[in-house]
Amino acid sequence: MADSDSHWRRWGETDAYFGVFADPGFRSDVIEQNRDAFFGSGRQHVEERLAAAERHFGPVARRRALEFGCGVGRLTLPLASAFGEIAALDIAPAMLAEAERNAQRSGFDNIRFALSDDRLSEAHGQFDLVMSCIVLQHIPVRRGLHILQELLGRVAPGGVAAIQLCIGRHDSLASRLRFWTQCNVPGVHELVNLKRGRPMREPFMQMNAYPLDRVIAMADAMNFGSCVISSFADARFRSAELLLRRH
Residue 46: give its domain's CATH number: 3.40.50.150
The domain tally of the chain equals: 1
Neighbouring C-beta atoms of residue 108, cutoff 10 Å: 17
User: Percent of the chain beyond pLDDT 70?
Assistant: 99
Q: What's the confidence (pLDDT) of residue 2?
A: 54
Q: What does the alpha-carbon distance between residue 89 and residue 8 come to, in Å, rounded to a whole number? A: 13
- The set of residues, in sequence order, having a beta carbon less than 8 Å from that of 134 and lying 6+ positions away, is 20, 21, 69, 164
Per-residue pLDDT tens for 107-166? 999 999 999 999 999 999 999 999 999 999 999 999 999 999 999 999 999 999 999 999
Per-residue pLDDT tens for 63-112? 999 999 999 999 999 999 999 999 999 999 999 999 999 999 999 999 99
Per-residue pLDDT tens for 22-52? 999 999 999 999 999 999 999 999 999 999 9
Name the residue range of residue 167's domain.
Answer: 4-246
Angle between the N-to-C axes of helices 212-221 and 141-153, in degrees from 0 to 180, rounded to the nearest 10: 30
Q: Is 71 left (phi over 0), alpha (psi -120 to 50) or beta?
A: left
Q: What's the confidence (pLDDT) of residue 182?
A: 79
